[in-house]
Amino acid sequence: MVKKINHIGVAVNSIEESAPLYRDVYGMKDEGVEVVEEQKVKVAFFAVGESRIELLEPTSDDSPVAKFIAKNGPGVHHIAYEVDDVCAEIARLKAEGVRLIDEVPRCGAHQTQIAFLHPKSSGGVLTEMCQMQH
Per-residue model confidence as pLDDT tens digits over 17-30: 999 999 999 999 99
Average pLDDT over residues 30-57: 95
Instruction: Let me know: does 112 contact 133? Beta carbons within 8 Å.
Output: yes
Q: Where are the beta strands (DSSP E) in 38-112?
A: 41-48, 51-58, 75-83, 106-107
- Domain ranges in the chain? 2-131
The fold adopted by the segment(s) 2-131 is 2,3-Dihydroxybiphenyl 1,2-Dioxygenase; domain 1 (3.10.180)
Query: d(Cα 95, Cα 42) in Å, to the nearest integer?
Result: 33
Q: What predicted TM-score, i.e. pTM, was given to this entire model?
A: 0.92
Distance of CA 82 to the CA centre of its chain: 11
